[in-house]
Structure 1
Amino acid sequence: MNKHPLWGALLLLALCGLPGMAWSAGAPVTVLTVDGAIGPASADYLVRGMARAEEEKAQLVVIRMDTPGGLDTSMRSIIKAILASPVPVATYVNPGGARAASAGTYILYASHVAAMTPGTNLGAATPVQIGGMPGTPPDKPAKPGEKEAKEPPADDALTKKQVNDAAAYIRGLAQLRGRNAQWAEQAVREAVSLSAEEALQQKVIDYVASDLPDLLKQLDGKTLKTAAAAEVKLQTAGATVVEHAPDWRTQLLAVITNPSVALILMMIGVYGLLFEFSNPGSAVGGVVGGICLILALYALQLLPVNYAGIALILLGMALMAAEAFMPSFGVIGIGGVAAFVVGAVILIDTEVPGFGIPLVVIVGLALVSALLIFGILGMAMKARRRDVVSGDAGLVGSLAAVAAVQAGNPLGGWVQLQGEQWQVVSRAPLRPGQQVRVVAREGLRLDVEAADESSREGD
């Protein structure tokens, strides 16, 4: 009788922690979908999705992928989550015609299971140029007879460091998962690609499956080793598939981390605050501008930005705003537009597909800003040509009716002008209701004359 608790404990350990453990037939399969460039939004979505799969006690996470590549920081965040996941992760390039290029190849190599659909491809994992003006061509080799440089240019040295780092990274992933490390390094150094069938033949991937049920059928009964150093036996044939589509948080993050949207938000934020400071009390400009500026700054700190570009954009908007408050006949405004365009061109410090700002957007925003500034300048010039209707200059020549006459002094009285009551004095006696014209101001007193007298003098 005393041995029963010991046997019970051993049985519990065998079910929960011993290698070779099999998931129950009811354990679900979680499916996450990545369609587009790998960025902060997709990284947040996949990391949270893998954590949620662990909470739901899923037996497998399938990342259905179609991507041209993405940001290095986002890719590494996803790979760290895959390597640390206690739930096995299968990356599946699907549907037909999809690809796992650049960052997608690294994620495929890092996964416990790598699979593709016929008609898909992977590879071209060479790091793209980071820094410098977009589209800058590489240095040309020395011509025959010319003396070659003893040391490579700084840009070439930086590129070599990036390529070597990326090659070592994907080689380590290949060795971890027992896949073709030689081809992985070739994909980085030579930007080569493979179709699904070729990838299977060269042991770059593990399976070729026509669809998700076919993949789950092939995985049924397979044993995988997870981060917890436990061997997990899958039972995926007929398992419940739970798809977690990107939620509102992921969709919002995807929108605001779009470089074009971040640039527009920054413009709205700066101009909104400028409007609030120039017209305090409206609150609309301050609230909208503050929210947009914070969202823009949050998005930019997630993106690979060039701080010189941000400085030029802010300088450009400041100069265009200065043109509105201190008209210089367009000199400051044109300089501001030029600074804004140059800053927007160099703002994003990478050539990764999907993270550039189209030139059409840059020119459009510059034209909108220029039209706004020069429109304000035009209104200011028109206002300068108008007659003054307020202040001392606006008082002289104004017509008003005598509101009251001083008791005992028919030459003095009061009139209502510009929302204020003024004391007036005339050379001729005044009477209540009489129309008078202001001819001069002396302190707080106005000199007036009867309106009919001034008209007769003019004749």
Structure 2
Amino acid sequence: MRYCFRQGRLHLDGNTTDRGLVTWIYRLMLVGLLWMLLATGVAAQSVQPIYFVEYDGVLSSYAAGYLRRALREAEAANAQALIVQLTPRGAVMQEARTLAGEIAEAKVPVVVFISPAGHDAGAAGTWLLAAAHVAAMAPESQFGIAAPLFVPAMGVSETTQELLLNEQLQQFEEWGAARQRDVSWADVALRSGFIATAAQAIEGSPPIIDIVARDVDELLLRLEGRVITLADGSQVTLATLGGRPRVVEVNLIEAVLLVLANPTVVFILLIMAGLAFYAEFLSPTVGILAGLGVILLAGAIVGMIALPVQWLSVLGILIAFGLVAADLFVPSHGTLTVIGVGIMIASSLTLFDQVQAPGVTVALWAVILVAVLIAIFAISGVWLALRSRNRPVTTGQEGLIGRLAEVRKRLDPEGMVFVEGALWRAVCENGTAEEGEFVRVTGIYALRLTVRRIDTGESSPPQL
């Protein structure tokens, strides 16, 4: 705006006034636009992320470790919620209860979602749904078991058992009061067993669960605006519409451990290890089968560490292999093999403690398949053994009798000898023989050579 004096008076220039007003309007619009952009950016940054973890399998110590890591990451990121989509296929009770306590005390809201539709969450669903800040299930799914949820402690009196049961019942009641959910079923579940479907759990007043949703998208829609009260008394209002959950993936070590902790995988590894040792026992040569058996057995042991194994059943599997192997040397006409396969089937079906880990069982198809394979393997071994025993002396293994063999592993009295281009297990009949010495083959028994040390006066040239 410009001022000027005309005839002793102050006058305003009209054109100058219009231009100045327009300039100020432009400046105000620019400032308003910048303020809106800044406010939008701040609002976008203030929306907390939603973390998501999905697990399908047995809730073992390895699985619980994976879920704990997801919870720690969500807490470290100050997430507005952690959604745990579970498809439990059996659970170790101690691990389920411990994980449930950690979920209840979490610093971020934890949503436990049992999925897919129609799935039975078993004991894991009972503990984790009760502890979750928001309990959700897919339609037609269910949770609970028909057996007591309370696992009696060993070596304590009935009074102490009752105190421990009441302690767990009080835990359920505290969670129910904090979440405003019905826990009147908890006493029945702990003492005798309880099963409820999603429809039954949602229709009560108050309900047992909070939400029934078909999938994660519907779950996020129903979570919008829900106010969650955490263990420390703070409240969180969920804003889940339009959000993209950050998935917590398993790392390589966790993936391997989760596979090994599968009860069917444990059983198959245990059987394959036994077959490898059995094949090494049958074979007259030394190969990699024993080493392979050790590796498979180590994998089975890693899996059994995470699961409550009944060692009597493991012993039964070992006895079964012993009976099948004995059929090679005892004229039982296959009776020992049949008994061994029967013991193996019974032991595999009771391999894991159903009281401590309800629902943790070996798949029936795996038991049947392994039983058939062991029977075929044993019959093949017996046939090969009989065939080798009945070979003509001049062309079969009996043709080795009288040949000289070089000691490759000290005979004391058992060891290894090299003859006819192959290594053989051998037993020395007359004392010991050191590596590099020559011995004479005197017979073959039970797929082992019997040898004798060469007398000092014998001067036959070595024939290997």
Question: Above 0.5 in TM-score?
Answer: yes
Note if 1:259 corresponds to 2:257.
no
User: Match of 2:367?
Assistant: 362
Classify the secondary structure of the residue corresponding to 1:58.
coil
Q: CA deviation at 1:313?
A: 0.6
Distance 1:47 1:391, change over 3 A: closer
Deviation track 1:251-294 (CA, whole Å, cap 9, x = no partner) reads 54443333232122112213324544676985521332111101
Q: CA deviation at 1:87?
A: 2.0
User: Match of 2:70?
Assistant: 49
Classify the secondary structure of the residue corresponding to 2:113.
strand
Q: CA deviation at 1:197?
A: 7.6
CA contact (8 A) 1:130 1:349 kept: no
User: Match of 2:113?
Assistant: 92
Distance 1:277 1:320, change over 3 A: closer
Distance 1:445 1:231, change over 3 A: closer
Q: CA deviation at 1:61?
A: 0.2
Distance 1:397 1:336, change over 3 A: closer
Matched letter for residue 184 of structure 2: Q
Deviation track 1:97-132 (CA, whole Å, cap 9, x = no partner) reads 556544213211101122345x3454444436999x
User: Match of 1:177?
Assistant: 179
Distance 1:217 1:362, change over 3 A: closer
Classify the secondary structure of the residue corresponding to 1:368.
helix
Note if 1:300 corresponds to 2:304.
yes
User: Match of 1:191?
Assistant: 194
What percent identity do the matched residue pairs reach?
A: 27
Note if 1:74 corresponds to 2:95.
yes
Q: CA deviation at 1:76?
A: 1.9
Deviation track 1:376-415 (CA, whole Å, cap 9, x = no partner) reads 22222222222223899859999xxxxxxxxxxxxxxxxx
User: Match of 2:381?
Assistant: 376
Equivalent position to 1:389, from 377, 384, 394: 394
Q: Paired residues, what number?
A: 359
Classify the secondary structure of the residue corresponding to 1:63.
strand
- Segments of 5+ residues of structure 1 without an aligned counterpart are 1-21, 132-155, 399-417, 420-441, 447-459
User: Match of 2:14?
Assistant: none
Matched letter for residue 301 of structure 1: I
Name the CA distance, whole Å, in 2 between partners of 1:90 and 1:23: 23
Distance 1:23 1:190, change over 3 A: farther
Q: Which has the bigger relative contact order, CA under 8 A and spacing at least 6? A: 1
CA contact (8 A) 1:309 1:344 kept: yes
CA contact (8 A) 1:268 1:292 kept: yes
User: Match of 1:427?
Assistant: none
Q: How does 1:223-242 map to 2 (within 5 A)?
A: 223-227=227-231, 230-242=234-246
Distance 1:331 1:238, change over 3 A: closer
Distance 1:164 1:370, change over 3 A: farther
Q: How does 1:120-139 map to 2 (within 5 A)?
A: 120-127=140-147
Matched letter for residue 387 of structure 1: P
Matched letter for residue 108 of structure 1: L
Q: CA deviation at 1:311?
A: 0.7
Distance 1:215 1:312, change over 3 A: closer
CA contact (8 A) 2:58 2:262 kept: no
Name the CA distance, whole Å, in 2 between partners of 1:289 and 1:354: 29
Equivalent position to 2:316, from 288, 312, 319: 312
Name the CA distance, whole Å, in 2 between partners of 1:116 and 1:199: 9
Name the CA distance, whole Å, in 1 between partners of 2:136 and 2:150: 30
Equivalent position to 2:351, from 347, 350, 355: 347
User: Match of 1:202?
Assistant: 205
Name the CA distance, whole Å, in 1 between partners of 2:349 and 2:195: 30
Q: CA deviation at 1:302?
A: 1.8
CA contact (8 A) 1:24 1:235 kept: no
Classify the secondary structure of the residue corresponding to 1:308.
helix
CA contact (8 A) 1:29 1:242 kept: yes
Q: CA deviation at 1:238?
A: 3.8
Matched letter for residue 344 of structure 2: F
Distance 1:295 1:82, change over 3 A: same
Equivalent position to 1:112, from 133, 143, 151: 133
Note if 1:32 corresponds to 2:53.
yes
Distance 1:37 1:256, change over 3 A: closer
User: Match of 2:83?
Assistant: 62
Q: CA deviation at 1:315?
A: 1.6
